[in-house]
């Protein structure tokens, strides 16, 4: 029989007793769990709480405030420049209508038409004559387009059916559906006798008169910007496709903006242009910094989600719900990343436009406008740290899935009314002529706009269609305003009441219950100790390595 001293020696040789190792492992595991709780709680703190917890400055918040200010200034500056471009296009379009359309009056384009053969010839001759006398009649800086030493001509093209005879009195006709085009050119500053041009009115589809004029937008000099050179392709169309005896006349322009070949500005400096480019470069650098910080935060959230998922798997084997996983994926950071990306691309295009390499004003305005909108929406994230403001964000996020399901069902009913109204009421009501117009009209009715005019403008040529229109409109308004719209508001209201009750109650999700186990306050100083410690995943890996080494030594 062994002596007690021998047993004591055995424990002294092999190390501490087994119960001591087990107790040490339990204490270490509890520390790791508490460390994970504090880490998750710190991740969901607001910038002020994080500052008290670890003394970290809210750099992202400061950067977002600066970014909002400079991006808004950039947007306003670009908006003023873009407004001058749009104004120049619209006023030139109005100028061309007054110059080349005979007896044109403002706002009369919808009813501008010719009804007699002699009027068609007179209008075409008037356009050609005005084009030839452009230098003597225009008050702008319009010029003809040149190709080398010659001016480019005005082109008159007639489209008509190749062969055909129509006798409406006998109710007989013969038409060759193939379309033939006959054209002739007229050169400005050169006045030979015009070629004989006969219009085949019974077979004529359209007459198109096309020419190109150049102009320079000098108003940008006032804002210390280089003027752009414009190419206006003017297209005047005599539309006879309906063959109803009414030939509609329309004037459209296609605009190309180019860099002027040779320019010289006196009395002004190009310094403002270089300062604007430098300011845009500053915005690009700021957005890249903001995007990098937010991307790092998103990656940290994903790593923390893996640690929490591993903890739940090792302790109870429960699967983490998708809603808890999505809590770690901060949607506000993703919104800021998208906003920064759009602003970077838009600022780069703005620099290119400022230097007159490209002139994509529309694309640039869409990118900068959308990026600025997302930046301002991102302010709601910081307002959400206050409980009275946070309820709006929580309600929108909680109601979003139900709202999407509701809109899908309501959208099917809405589209059914659109197709029905277009096919039945389209020939009798101008608001139902196209599917797009039908959708806009019905959406306006939902919002209570133009109800009386929609009923009043319905033509009463067919009693059956008139009765159907009343049933159609009354049923749509009753269904969408009194039922569907009320149910939509009810979904938002119920979600708001539910969120309001949850704010004063106990934690509802497993993640919130897990975080509630951490009672450490931000200013307790405990979070500073955890700053340099290993994460829960690293602790699990190190524990597995210790266990493997122990088994290897025992073997």
Q: Tell me, yes or no, whether 416 and 299 share the same domain.
A: no
Q: Tell me, yes or no, whether 337 and 391 share the same domain.
A: no
Question: Scanning the structure block, which residue is given the tokens 């890249």?
Answer: 288
Q: What's the total number of domains in the chain?
A: 3
| 340, containing H or E segment | helix 331-354
Q: Tell me, yes or no, whether 203 and 325 share the same domain.
A: no
Q: Tell me, yes or no, whether 379 and 394 share the same domain.
A: no
User: Using an 8 Å Cβ cutoff, are 284 and 342 in contact?
Assistant: no
Q: Tell me, yes or no, whether 159 and 264 share the same domain.
A: yes
For 222-299, strand residue ranges (E) read: 229-239, 247-258
The predicted-structure confidence for 243-288, as pLDDT tens digits, reads as follows: 888 999 999 999 888 877 777 666 655 567 778 889 999 999 999 9
Domain boundary among 268, 303, 324: 268
**Residue 343 resides in a domain:** yes
Q: Tell me, yes or no, whether 446 and 395 share the same domain.
A: yes
Per the document, the length of the chain is: 555
Q: Tell me, yes or no, whether 189 and 87 share the same domain.
A: no
> Which ranges of 378-483 does DSSP label H, i.e. alpha helix?
379-383, 387-425, 435-446, 451-456, 463-477
**Residue 18 resides in a domain:** no
Of the chain, the end-to-end C-alpha distance in Å amounts to 27
Domain boundary among 364, 384, 404: 384
Q: Tell me, yes or no, whether 333 and 354 share the same domain.
A: yes
**CA-CA distances (angstroms) from residue 409 to 402, 405, 481?**
11, 7, 15
Q: Six-digit token pair at 521? A: 């306050």
Q: Tell me, yes or no, whether 303 and 365 share the same domain.
A: yes
**Residue 480 resides in a domain:** yes
Per-residue pLDDT of the chain (555 residues; tens, 9 = 90+): 444 444 444 444 455 555 445 444 555 555 666 777 777 777 777 677 676 666 677 778 888 889 999 999 999 988 888 888 888 999 999 999 999 999 888 877 778 899 999 999 999 999 998 998 888 898 988 999 888 778 888 999 999 888 878 887 787 888 888 888 888 888 887 655 566 678 888 888 999 999 999 998 888 777 767 788 899 999 999 999 988 889 999 999 998 888 777 776 666 555 677 788 899 999 999 999 999 988 988 888 888 888 777 877 777 667 777 777 777 788 888 999 999 999 999 999 988 887 777 777 888 889 999 999 999 888 887 777 776 777 777 788 788 888 899 999 999 999 999 999 999 888 888 888 889 999 988 998 888 777 777 777 777 777 888 888 889 988 998 899 888 888 888 888 888 888 777 666 555 666 666 666 666 666 665 655 555 554 444 444 445 545 555 545 544
Q: Tell me, yes or no, whether 123 and 165 share the same domain.
A: yes
The predicted-structure confidence for 38-97, as pLDDT tens digits, reads as follows: 777 777 776 776 766 666 777 788 888 899 999 999 999 888 888 888 889 999 999 999
Q: Tell me, yes or no, whether 396 and 370 share the same domain.
A: no
pTM (two decimals): 0.73
**Residue 553 resides in a domain:** no
Residues of the domain holding 203: 104-268
Domain boundary among 384, 409, 433: 384
Q: Tell me, yes or no, whether 190 and 141 share the same domain.
A: yes
**Angle, to 10 degrees, between the axis of helix 331-354 and the axis of helix 361-377?**
150
């Amino acid at each position: 029989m062994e002596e007690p001293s021998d047993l004591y020696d055995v424990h002294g040789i092999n190390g501490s007793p087994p119960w001591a190792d087990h107790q040490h492992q339990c204490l270490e595991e509890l520390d790791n769990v508490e460390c994970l709780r504090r880490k998750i709680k710190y991740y969901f703190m607001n910038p002020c709480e994080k500052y008290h917890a670890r003394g970290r400055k809210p750099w992202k918040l400061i950067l977002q405030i600066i970014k909002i200010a400079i991006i808004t200034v950039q947007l306003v500056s670009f908006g003023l420049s873009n407004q001058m471009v749009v104004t120049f296009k619209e006023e030139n379009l109005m100028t061309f209508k007054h110059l080349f359309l005979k007896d044109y009056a403002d706002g009369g384009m919808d009813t501008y038409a010719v009804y007699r053969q002699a009027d068609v010839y007179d209008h075409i001759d008037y356009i050609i004559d005005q084009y030839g006398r452009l230098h003597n009649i225009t008050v702008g800086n319009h010029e003809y387009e040149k190709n080398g030493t010659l001016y480019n001509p005005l082109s008159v093209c007639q489209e008509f059916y190749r062969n055909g005879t129509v006798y409406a009195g006998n109710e007989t006709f013969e038409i060759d559906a193939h379309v033939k085009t006959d054209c002739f050119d007229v050169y400005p500053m050169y006045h030979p006798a015009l070629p004989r041009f006969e219009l085949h009115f019974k077979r004529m589809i359209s007459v198109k008169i096309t020419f190109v004029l150049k102009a320079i937008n000098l108003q940008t000099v006032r804002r210390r910007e280089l003027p752009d050179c414009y190419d206006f392709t003017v297209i005047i169309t005599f539309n006879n496709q309906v063959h109803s005896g009414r030939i509609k006349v329309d004037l459209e322009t296609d605009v190309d903006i180019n860099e002027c070949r040779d320019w010289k500005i006196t009395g002004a400096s190009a310094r403002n242009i270089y300062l604007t480019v430098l300011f845009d470069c500053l915005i690009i650098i700021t957005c890249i910094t903001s995007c990098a910080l937010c991307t790092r935060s998103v990656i940290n959230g994903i790593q923390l989600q893996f640690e929490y998922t591993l903890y739940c798997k090792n302790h109870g084997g429960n699967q983490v719900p998708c809603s808890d996983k999505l809590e770690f994926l901060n949607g506000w950071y993703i919104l800021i990343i998208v906003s920064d990306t759009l602003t970077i691309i838009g600022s780069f295009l703005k620099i290119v436009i400022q230097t007159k390499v490209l002139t994509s004003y529309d694309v640039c305005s869409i990118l900068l406008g959308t990026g600025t909108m997302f930046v301002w929406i991102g302010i709601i994230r910081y307002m959400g740290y206050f409980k009275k403001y946070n309820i709006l964000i929580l309600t929108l996020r909680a109601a979003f899935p139900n709202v999407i399901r509701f809109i899908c069902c309501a959208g099917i009913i809405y589209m059914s009314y659109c197709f029905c109204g277009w096919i039945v009421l389209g020939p009798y009501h101008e608001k139902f002529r196209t599917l797009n117009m039908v959708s806009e009209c019905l959406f306006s009715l939902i919002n209570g706009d133009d109800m009386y005019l929609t009923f009043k403008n319905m033509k009463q040529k067919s009693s059956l269609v008139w009765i159907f229109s009343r049933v159609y409109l009354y049923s749509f308004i009753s269904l969408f305003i009194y039922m569907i719209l009320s149910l939509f508001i009810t979904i938002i209201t119920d979600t708001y009441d539910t969120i309001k009750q949850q704010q004063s109650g106990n934690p509802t999700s497993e993640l919130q219950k897990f975080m509630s186990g951490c009672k450490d306050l931000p200013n307790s100083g405990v979070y500073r100790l955890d700053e340099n410690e290993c994460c829960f995943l690293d602790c699990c890996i190190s524990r597995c390595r210790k266990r493997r080494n122990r088994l290897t030594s025992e073997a």
